[in-house]
Amino acid sequence: MNNLTKTELDNIYPLGENRTGKPIFITFKADWWGPCRMFEQVLNEVTPEYSGKIQMYKVDIEKEPGIAQQFSARGIPFTVMISKSGERQSQAGSLDKDTLKYYFEGLINKK
């Protein structure tokens, strides 16, 4: 999972248009926050299975507060899922392994 910068965000998702050709998953986190560290363990288990199918990014809210503000990430962990068409869905809080897989499958199959 790559760190997302403002420059890269502007390239892959300008003005709400997904230019990657794949769904996008972004997780917002802080390394010092326990729930984020726990969710990172789930991500490390699940995301390799979806490599190549979903563009995956992480955002440290302290290093990229502008991106966090742009997506209204007020509580962490916070996830944003963007379909190929640019439709966006977000959620505060961590997800368990099965729920994350369910969301990823839906994201891949969404037009």
Q: What DSSP string describes 18-70?
A: --SSS-EEEEEE-TT-HHHHHHHHHHHHHGGGGBTTBEEEEEETTT-HHHHHH
For the segment 84-111, the average pLDDT, to the nearest whole number, is 93
Residue 110 has pLDDT above 90, yes or no: no
For the segment 51-68, the average pLDDT, to the nearest whole number, is 96
Percent of the chain's residues with pLDDT above 70: 99
Residue 111 has pLDDT above 70, yes or no: no
| H or E segment to which residue 5 belongs | none
Percent of the chain's residues with pLDDT above 90: 95
What pLDDT score does 76 carry? 96
Average pLDDT of the residues of the chain = 95
